[in-house]
Amino acid sequence: MTLHEEMLAVGDGAVAASRELALLSERRKNAILEAMAAEVETRKNAILDANKKDIEAGRNAGLSTALLDRLLLTETRLVGVVKGIRMVGALRDPVGARISRWIRPNGLVIVKQRVPIGVIAILYESRPNVTADTSALCIKTSNAVILRGGKEALNSNAALAEALTAGGRKKGLPERAIQLIRCADHDVARELVQMEGRVDLVILRGGEALIRAVTDQARVPVIKHYKGVCHTYVDESAKIEMALAICENAKCQRPGVCNAMEKLLVHEKIAPAFLPPMAARFAERGVELRGDAAARAIAPGMKEATEQDWFEEYLDLILTVKIVPSIEAAIAHINRHGSRHSDAIVTESEAAERMFTRDVDSAAVYVNASTRFTDGGEFGMGAEIGISTDKLHARGPMALEELTTYKYVIHGNGQIRE
């Protein structure tokens, strides 16, 4: 079999599984999820052993400490994985829910109701917990899932997927409902995004290069978990203490994630009072600052920011700082340089807050809070499969509802159109 034929067979298997999944009751799906969780517990040692192989190979291949940490599974982390699956089991199944219902003058009863999407493929890197989270969310919403993790995590992902499948099968998980692609060939990604009629949605969680390459070739709808170039704008009316705390948190609490602040915009009127203490706090936390000329004049010691800096997601203790003459300039800068992920204003002005929340074109727009809250768990969704930086179908954190679509079911008693 060629890779193409193999992938078509994977797609056919997923389509068949999705039809079976659509027939399962919520109770049945919860029993499957519980069995999946239990089997991961049972196979704990085998999974940790597989992970050790990946870590060793990664170390030999010279992966960075950050990447190795993302790759690592420990007993504690595995407990978190199991807990995550059970948490999804406890969430309410959105499939079958009525979104709306109305009756037409001719007596037709129209119900708009949630249905599974069908077959979902996900391309992701490093963290093996995505394998379990994604599988649980897809099974709960009756979607078949095709998993394509990074090659550096293949042993861990394979051990996890085997446990999930073996556990689920005990309670009636359809064969091929969860399929992990083991083939390391680069063309797998291209095949997946071109499987119209077999794959209904591809979720992309990966590096910028992967996303660009795959998006260019896609014929299947794709939702991107793209970069997070998140801004905080400190308005002239901001409370300085609040602004200091929010900015420190947004930058430093976990700099390696997509909802961490990467850019700081400061109104010129508040900059002399705000920027020096802010720079001092960042210096304490080891943050490298890069500023425009105005910022460097107020808080010396910053490096010079280049044009490229405004577009870059560092995922590190680096921050670019700009002084702006107005809120309008801040908004224009964000819409031009940001990634439509999460952006915040710190302000005491209602007019400023209204303008900022209306005009900033991002998935999550904050007033007086840290951008770090853009997260399925923090939003109260219970879990997430990713954070969409696209505008269609789903925006921001994607959880169960975002893994469904809808159809119209129309009941009549013989209506015909005049």
Helix (H, G, I), strand (E, B) or coil at 388: strand
CB 230, min distance to its own copies, A: 13
Binders of its own copies among residues 383 to 412 (CB under 8 A) are 390-393, 395-396, 405-412
Look up tokens 């808080």; give the residue: 299
**Under the criterion CB under 8 A, does residue 85 sit at the interface with its own copies?**
no
Q: Please report whether residue 329 would count as binding its own copies according to CB under 8 A.
A: no
Binder among 268, 288, 369, 382 for its own copies (CB under 8 A): 369
Q: Contact between 349 and its own copies (CB under 8 A)?
A: no
CB-based burial, 375-388: b 16+ in 10 Å, e otherwise: bbeeeebbbbbbbb
Residue 293 Cβ vs its own copies, minimum distance, rounded to whole Å: 27
Phi-psi region at 301: left, alpha or beta (left = phi > 0; alpha = psi -120 to 50):
left
343 to 228, 262, 289, 366: CA distances (angstroms): 10, 10, 19, 6
Residue span 253-292 as binding mask against its own copies, x where in contact by CB under 8 A, dash where not:
x---------------------------------------
Question: Applying CB under 8 A, which of residues 266, 370, 376, 398 lies at the interface with its own copies?
Answer: 370
Q: Are 148 and 124 in contact (CB under 8 A)?
A: yes
The radius of gyration computed from the CA coordinates of the chain, to the nearest angstrom, equals 24
Q: Which amino acid is it at 226? A: Y
Q: Which is nearer to its own copies, 290 or 340 (CB)?
A: 340
User: Minimal distance in Å, beta carbon 383 to its own copies?
Assistant: 16
Q: Give the end-to-end CA distance of the chain in Å, rounded to a whole number.
A: 54
Query: H or E stretch including 85?
Result: helix 75-90
Taking the complex as a whole, the smallest distance from the CB of residue 57 to its own copies amounts, in Å, to 34
Written as six digits, the tokens of 82 are 């199991």
Query: Could you count the other beta carbons within 10 Å of the beta carbon of residue 341?
Result: 26
192 or 298: whose CB is closer to its own copies?
A: 192
| CA 208/CA 324 separation, integer angstroms | 29
91, 364, 398, 403: residue in contact with its own copies (rule CB under 8 A): 364
Residues lying near its own copies in the complex (CB under 8 A) are found at 19, 22-23, 102, 104, 108, 110, 115, 117-118, 200-201, 215-216, 218-219, 221, 239, 242, 245-246, 248-250, 253, 335, 353, 357-359, 361-370, 372-374, 378-380, 390-393, 395-396, 405-417
